[in-house]
Structure 1
């Protein structure tokens, strides 16, 4: 029986490369994008390489909690289980932008959405023999010393790179705290991934023209990874039989490594967990 994987942000870049590889390996892949057109285009692209691939198109704006709930309804109506959830979608914005729920958009997409999706999909993941949650983080979390709990939206001190770094620190703090709280081994293993500096369009969306030019220059620098290279660790963690017992670690180039010092603050992680549950209106491990 084919394993089933959901890849968010799979219309381009790392997400598309991840979905293409898993489809070629025989996984049933749920291909998520922000719109139906983008999701269907990605499916057609994957089918060009793997004509017999088993694919489902799914779409949602991950900055919207309502859209996320609708996405989960789509997935639940068509699948009895989920083996791998790859929270790949990410953004960074030059200017402060709030979601309909009043959350800063980068924090909403990069941190709140993976947590909310993981929570809502726990029943399907729980039906898998070896469920896995993968969160695409970033070494950018080193750029902040802690979460701005007094102003998570950074309303009074906003900068696009600061908001991005805070969201990525949130990814690592959440991954570690998840593992500390995980009720037992039947709940999904969790992995946070550092993909490296990858040649994608993330720095061109929602940004000023100056930041767009800077990103174009940066992504052309020597040593930058292709999307396929950036996807390699996520693919390894999704498919390797050797990592199920290595939950709660931070990964780079298909191996665990140390994250930066601020990510090991347990008090910070506990506060973030509580703040996140409150923002989402959930108790994370409640299967409903």
Structure 2
């Protein structure tokens, strides 16, 4: 029997590491992706300690860097023979405007373009199994997202002179949610893509973000869940015996949920998908007929 393999980005702590621990307990081998070498080593030790006998691989990549995403895909090809589950969890809400070396606003680079890029590189490499599940972590803040339906900005550079931390983060997550719905129609039969909203989590994410998000977290913290509890939605999507429906759906609290109205705009979803592919220099995958 071939052991299932799950790749989880942003696995140094919080939701990502909690998801890794639970998938290890469910019999998966794990590839945990962290930002840098020190966090990779501490993550390897933490995960190996709770799962003796299971394969735990740890790689590191700063996913705001497009070249680092490409290098990560190459490392994954050399490290594992197949990927059954990809959990695109890495994310951050930066407090101020800055662009990457590729000319992408940082929040959009990490939260939207990086998971889109990594997913499509693995698809192109044929690394996904025939029934693979691609799970991208969403957020309550998608309701703060703002996209021009006639020309959606998927790179975030239009926020240069009007930056708002919560709105820019929400917009990056909204673009990601729309792209996931469009991706589901473009996957080979048997593969599934999902968006998973874990809700408010008791981690250092909001505090490290600084800015207004740190203030908001101090107010909402009383309702925050532990990472282990928040992990139930991505873990359910990864482990359910029958693939959850709908493909391309939005899930929270362990079940399918109705996404914001804007996400149900198929034309906008297709536009966001195509613009993102073009921004990354990727081929646009055709939608199923």
TM-score, normalised on structure 1? 0.91
Partner Cα separation in structure 2 for residue 211 and residue 120 of structure 1:
32
Q: Find the counterpart in structure 2 of residue 48 from structure 1.
A: 49
Q: Give the alignment partner of residue 168 of structure 2, picking from 163, 178, 192.
A: 163
Q: Give the corresponding residue for 2:26.
A: 25
Question: Paired residue for 1:249?
Answer: 249
The number of aligned residues is 281
For 1:1-288, list aligned pairs within 5 A.
1-123=2-124, 127-147=128-148, 149=152, 152-153=156-157, 154-182=159-187, 184-186=188-190, 188-208=191-211, 211-212=213-214, 214-221=215-222, 223-243=223-243, 246-285=246-285
Deviation, 1:37, is 1.4
Deviating above 4 A after TM superposition, structure 1's stretches of 4 or more consecutive aligned residues are: 123-127
Structure 1 position 22, deviation (Å): 0.9
- Single out whichever of 259-268 and 110-119 deviates more from structure 2: 259-268
Q: Is the 8 A contact 1:119 1:285 kept in 2?
A: no
Contact 2:166 2:213 in 1 (8 A): no
- Paired with 1:124 and 1:21, the residues of 2 have a C-alpha distance of 27
The structure-2 alpha-carbon separation of the partners of 1:216 and 1:138, relative to structure 1 and needing over 3 Å to count, comes to closer
Cα gap change, 1:126/1:30 in structure 2, threshold over 3 Å: closer, same or farther?
A: closer
RMSD of aligned alpha carbons: 2.0
Change over 3 Å in CA distance of 1:127–1:230 after alignment to 2:
closer
In structure 2, the CA distance between the partners of 1:284 and 1:8, relative to structure 1 (3 Å rule), is farther
| Cα displacement string for residues 153-184 of structure 1 (whole angstroms, at most 9, x for unaligned residues) | 211211110111001111211111112333x3
Distance apart, 1:114 and its partner CA: 0.7
User: CA separation in 2, counterparts of 1:97 and 1:278?
Assistant: 21
Stretches of structure 1 that go unaligned for 5 or more consecutive residues are none
Report the CA distance shift for 1:34/1:264 in structure 2 as closer, same or farther (over 3 A): same
Separation in structure 1 between the aligned mates of residue 205 and residue 221 of structure 2, nearest angstrom: 14
